[in-house]
């Protein structure tokens, strides 16, 4: 048989003979003989087997090495940072906190409707339930695509989850290799349901939304559990191209992807043709997404910061806030909060711009803070937490101490209320000369007679007054150094402290710790803190003492012209702190309660400047602060049952039915508190009020 060969650049003809060699042909080195040909074939076969081994065994060996050396990321790595949501008591949003702008809320697979799960599978991985975590054919296509200049592709849901968990999305063969190894390991370790749950919590849907729950809120304003089949299909269609698939960006593309998903659900048997035909593209998608994050810059910011401080005190760290997908439910009632803000605006809007306000309302039955207004500028000072002198609003604690001392003091006990007097070496005057030669303790409370309460404090013991204030709820770290001036409110307290301490009297002496956080729940359902079931509280003040303190303040509202409608019983005390020895005032208060609501209102300035009304006259406790308090309490209690305090059993001498009148005497000089104890006001460089100036100033018979 002739065979054409190429040798030395020319063609030659070689004749092949079939059969045994003749005449010794081919007996040289044997290379052209049968044994030489067999050796050549063996070398070819060896080369082919080597090549086949490299092609087949190489990837297997590489896969085995990768299996041993490449770690599997924790399921939490992909969802480490999550959105924390702070809400009002009714669940309405207060603040949405996103660490590093990651908008994610984890949910369990049980919370995702099965049709929504299937829509995602139809969109991204129809063989998810049966594949080993990777698709070798798809990976092969991706390899060819990348070698020819394409952009890869071919990822299963498990591989996509791995990409999210590792944060690596480079279009490289090395990344595909790692993805396949990790996907296989995860598929071996985790159930398909767990993998799908992790995927649904990590995948990006556009509009800043990571995870199916946040996507449901971003596109439909609802929880994932409320999604329909059609809505789920629209969201599933977004995964391939979150920006381009947004119906607000490209409605045609969004509908095309929606159809693709639904058709895939029919193809896989997850949706019947009849149900497919009944589907209509959603028309309730939001044209613009709700705010992805935000902490309001108004008074709500102070609620948020106070709630965070409470979380820290409970041992809940910032890391937990950032990573656990917390829902923090506050105790603040949104309607009551609106009423607080409206009351401040109604009274203060036309007043001088330098005036500042704070309002805190507490439920005496639980300690829950139901309204919290620390000022309109959220990023500014929280005045509900600012230390200020309470003036005469501190007198109920003096009475509580005296009633507990067992020395026979009662609301009907009669004292010398003249002004001025020298008591324990100190000249004490009543405000504006208000005085009564002989009047009862109850009258002294109603008309804020300084000389009587100063004497009671000295006789009872200043330390006992401090103890009584701490009993009621003034924090133990306050009132560190006190003298007789404590009777007139020369020690600094916070509005939130006063609302809480008065709430103890409202609750019959039962003290409930004030709190602004009702419940904290992590995304996985764990409850980290729960105040939703009111605690029993502690009997901090004897019940009879608390009821007598309440009785002593029942006439103040009428006397100060801040009574509530419906003949609603209310115990209230105003307070005004005089500015040095001037005729101006620097802090004004009204604090009072019903059995169901205790509210403190403060009005002052940043630097303890004169507090004046729009007319230029000095403000008093009953005027601006009292006006805000009355406006708020009236609105907050409107439509609620008129509740009365418990039976009054007097301690010591009971009060008479008609209090004696007070008289007006000339003002008397009094030494400034600071000159007496050598301390200057650290806030303003000014001296504190004179003894007697811490009380209310104005016309007779009015506790302003």
pLDDT 10s digits, 400-413: 999 999 989 999 99
pLDDT at 10 over 60: no
The band of 81, judged by pLDDT with boundaries at 50, 70 and 90, is low
pLDDT of res. 97: 82
Known active-site residue 124: yes
The band of 106, judged by pLDDT with boundaries at 50, 70 and 90, is confident
pLDDT of res. 59: 52
**CB neighbour list of residue 36: distance below 8 Å, 6 or more residues apart:** 30
CA angle in degrees (0–180, nearest 5) for 49-53-55: 115
pLDDT of res. 555: 95
pLDDT of res. 176: 54
* pLDDT tens string 463-506: 999 999 999 999 999 999 889 999 999 999 999 999 999 999 99
Q: What secondary structure letter does DSSP report for 1?
A: -
Task: Compute how many other C-beta atoms are within 10 angstroms of the C-beta atom of residue 458.
Answer: 18
pLDDT at 693 over 50: no
In angstroms, rounded to a whole number, what is the distance separating the alpha carbons of residues 216 and 212?
6
pLDDT at 658 over 50: no
Phi first, then psi: what are they for 295, rounded to 5°? -120, 115
- Secondary structure class of 190 (helix, strand, coil): coil
- Give strand pairing partners of 12: 5
Angle, helix 192-202 to helix 114-124, in steps of 10 degrees? 80
pLDDT at 662 over 80: no
| Mean of per-residue pLDDT scores for the chain | 81
For residue 376, what are its two tokens? 């309109």
pLDDT at 690 over 50: no
C-beta of residue 404 within 8 angstroms of C-beta of residue 397: no
C-beta of residue 491 within 8 angstroms of C-beta of residue 679: no
316-323 contact pairs (CB < 8 A, 24+): 316/520, 316/528, 316/529, 320/522, 320/528, 321/84, 321/97, 321/99, 322/81, 322/82, 322/84, 322/99, 323/76, 323/80, 323/81, 323/82, 323/99
The band of 397, judged by pLDDT with boundaries at 50, 70 and 90, is very high
pLDDT of res. 559: 92
Domains and CATH numbers, the chain: 99-278 (1.10.3810.10), 381-508+537-542+551-604+618-671 (3.40.710.10)
Averaged pLDDT for residues 684-694:
35
CA distances from 28 to 32, 33, 398 (A): 9, 9, 129
pLDDT of res. 694: 42
Portion of the chain with pLDDT greater than 90, in percent:
56
pLDDT of res. 76: 53
pLDDT at 14 over 90: no
* pLDDT tens string 310-348: 999 999 988 788 888 899 999 999 999 999 999 999 999
Query: Hey, what's the torsion of the CAs at 487, 490, 493, 496, to 10 degrees?
Result: 60
C-beta of residue 627 within 8 angstroms of C-beta of residue 342: no
- Give strand pairing partners of 573: 591
Phi first, then psi: what are they for 91, rounded to 5°? 90, -5
In angstroms, rounded to a whole number, what is the distance separating the alpha carbons of residues 320 and 326?
8
pLDDT of res. 208: 74
pLDDT of res. 262: 98
pLDDT of res. 458: 97
In angstroms, rounded to a whole number, what is the distance separating the alpha carbons of residues 347 and 339?
12
Averaged pLDDT for residues 270-287:
94
423 burial type by CB count under 10 A (0-12 exposed, 13-18 middle, 19+ buried): buried
Helical segments of 517-555, H only? 543-552
pLDDT of res. 698: 34
In angstroms, rounded to a whole number, what is the distance separating the alpha carbons of residues 165 and 323?
15
Stretch among 24-28, 94-98, 507-511, 673-677 having the lowest mean pLDDT: 673-677
* pLDDT tens string 602-630: 999 998 899 999 999 999 999 999 999 99
In angstroms, rounded to a whole number, what is the distance separating the alpha carbons of residues 36 and 27?
11
Highest mean pLDDT among 129-133, 218-222, 623-627: 623-627
C-beta of residue 593 within 8 angstroms of C-beta of residue 503: yes
- List the one residue out of 472, 504, 532 whose CA is nearest residue 595: 504
The residue annotated as part of the active site, out of 124, 299, 492, 551, is 124
pLDDT of res. 663: 45
pLDDT at 7 over 90: no
- Give strand pairing partners of 511: 538
The residue annotated as part of the active site, out of 230, 366, 392, 598, is 392
Higher pLDDT, 157 or 273: 273
- List the one residue out of 298, 394, 308 whose CA is nearest residue 344: 298
pLDDT of res. 295: 76
In angstroms, rounded to a whole number, what is the distance separating the alpha carbons of residues 657 and 528?
53
Q: What secondary structure letter does DSSP report for 72?
A: P
- Secondary structure class of 469 (helix, strand, coil): helix
Task: Compute how many other C-beta atoms are within 10 angstroms of the C-beta atom of residue 680.
Answer: 13
pLDDT of res. 589: 98
Global pTM? 0.67
In angstroms, rounded to a whole number, what is the distance separating the alpha carbons of residues 180 and 65?
13
Helical segments of 480-637, H only? 495-506, 543-552, 556-559, 626-637
Averaged pLDDT for residues 554-574:
94
Higher pLDDT, 179 or 192: 192
pLDDT at 29 over 90: no
Averaged pLDDT for residues 633-651:
96
pLDDT of res. 614: 94
pLDDT of res. 178: 63
In angstroms, rounded to a whole number, what is the distance separating the alpha carbons of residues 290 and 219?
8
The residue whose two tokens read 């301690």 is 651
pLDDT of res. 137: 57
Helical segments of 148-191, H only? 157-166, 173-189
Task: Compute how many other C-beta atoms are within 10 angstroms of the C-beta atom of residue 545.
Answer: 21
pLDDT at 141 over 70: no
Known active-site residue 92: no
- List the one residue out of 602, 601, 573, 599 whose CA is nearest residue 587: 602
- Secondary structure class of 444 (helix, strand, coil): helix
C-beta of residue 450 within 8 angstroms of C-beta of residue 485: no
pLDDT at 138 over 80: no
CA distances from 684 to 568, 571, 609, 680 (A): 40, 33, 8, 9
Query: Hey, what's the torsion of the CAs at 621, 623, 624, 629, to 10 degrees?
Result: 80
pLDDT of res. 541: 98
Portion of the chain with pLDDT greater than 70, in percent:
74
Stretch among 109-118, 211-220, 266-275, 281-290 having the lowest mean pLDDT: 281-290
In angstroms, rounded to a whole number, what is the distance separating the alpha carbons of residues 316 and 326?
10
């Amino acid at each position: 048989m002739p065979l054409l060969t190429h040798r030395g650049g020319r063609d030659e003809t070689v004749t092949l003979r079939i059969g045994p060699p003749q005449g010794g042909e081919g007996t040289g080195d044997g290379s052209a003989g049968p044994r030489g040909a067999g050796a050549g074939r063996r070398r070819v076969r060896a080369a082919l087997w080597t090549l086949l081994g490299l092609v087949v065994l190489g990837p297997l060996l590489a896969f085995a090495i990768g299996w041993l050396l490449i770690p599997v990321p924790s399921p939490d790595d992909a969802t480490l940072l999550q959105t924390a949501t702070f809400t009002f008591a009714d669940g309405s949003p207060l603040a949405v906190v996103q660490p590093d702008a990651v908008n994610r809320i984890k949910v369990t697979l049980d919370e995702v409707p099965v049709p929504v799960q299937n829509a995602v599978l139809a969109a991204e991985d129809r063989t998810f339930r049966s594949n080993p975590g990777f698709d070798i054919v798809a990976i092969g296509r991706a390899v060819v695509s990348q070698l020819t200049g394409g952009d890869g592709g071919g990822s299963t849901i498990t591989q996509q989850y791995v990409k999210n968990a590792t944060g690596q999305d480079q279009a490289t063969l090395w990344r595909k290799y790692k993805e396949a190894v990790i996907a296989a390991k995860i598929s071996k370790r985790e159930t398909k349901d767990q993998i799908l749950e992790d995927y649904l919590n990590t995948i990006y849907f556009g509009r800043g939304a990571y995870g199916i729950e946040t996507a449901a809120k971003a596109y439909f304003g609802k929880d994932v559990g409320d999604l329909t089949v059609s809505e789920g299909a629209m969201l599933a269609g977004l995964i391939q191209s979150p920006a381009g698939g947004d119906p607000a960006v490209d409605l045609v593309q969004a509908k095309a992807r929606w159809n693709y998903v639904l058709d895939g659900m029919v193809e896989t048997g997850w949706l019947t043709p009849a149900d497919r035909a009944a589907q209509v593209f959603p028309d309730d998608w939001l044209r613009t997404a709700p705010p992805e994050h935000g902490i309001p810059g108004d008074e709500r910011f102070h609620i948020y910061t106070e709630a965070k401080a409470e979380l820290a005190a409970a041992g809940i760290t910032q890391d937990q806030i950032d990573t656990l997908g917390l829902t923090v439910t506050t105790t603040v009632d949104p309607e009551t909060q609106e009423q607080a803000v409206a009351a401040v605006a109604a009274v203060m809007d036309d007043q001088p711009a330098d005036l500042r306000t704070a309002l805190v309302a507490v439920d005496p039955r639980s300690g829950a803070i139901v309204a919290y207004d620390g000022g309109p500028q959220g990023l500014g000072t929280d005045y509900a937490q600012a230390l200020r002198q309470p003036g005469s609003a501190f007198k109920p604690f003096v009475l509580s101490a005296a009633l507990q001392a067992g020395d026979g003091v009662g609301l009907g006990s009669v004292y010398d209320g003249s002004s001025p007097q020298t008591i324990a070496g100190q000249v004490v005057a009543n405000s504006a000369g208000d005085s009564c030669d002989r009047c009862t303790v109850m009258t002294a409370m109603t008309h804020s007679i300084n000389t009587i309460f100063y004497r009671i404090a000295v006789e009872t013991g200043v330390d006992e007054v401090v103890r009584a204030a701490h009993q009621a709820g003034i924090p133990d770290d306050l009132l560190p150094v006190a003298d007789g001036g404590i009777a007139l409110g020369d020690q600094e307290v916070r509005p939130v402290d006063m609302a809480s301490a008065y709430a103890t009297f409202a609750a019959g002496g039962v003290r409930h710790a004030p709190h602004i956080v009702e419940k904290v729940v992590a995304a996985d359902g764990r409850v980290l803190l729960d105040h939703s079931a009111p605690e029993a509280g502690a009997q901090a003040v004897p019940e009879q003492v608390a009821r007598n303190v309440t009785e002593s303040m029942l006439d103040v509202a009428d006397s100060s012209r801040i009574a509530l409608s419906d003949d609603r019983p209310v115990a209230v005390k105003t307070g005004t702190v005089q500015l040095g020895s001037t005729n101006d005032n620097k802090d004004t208060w009204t604090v009072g309660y019903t059995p169901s609501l205790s509210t403190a209102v403060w009005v002052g300035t940043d630097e303890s400047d004169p507090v004046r009304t729009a007319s230029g006259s000095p403000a008093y406790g009953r005027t601006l602060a009292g006006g805000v308090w009355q406006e708020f309490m009236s609105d907050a209690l409107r439509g609620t049952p008129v509740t009365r305090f418990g039976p009054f059993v007097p301690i010591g001498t009971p009060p008479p039915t008609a209090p004696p009148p007070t008289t007006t005497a000339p003002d008397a000089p009094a030494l400034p508190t600071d000159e007496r104890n050598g301390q200057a006001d650290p806030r303003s460089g000014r001296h504190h009020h004179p003894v007697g100036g811490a009380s209310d100033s104005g016309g007779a018979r009015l506790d302003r």
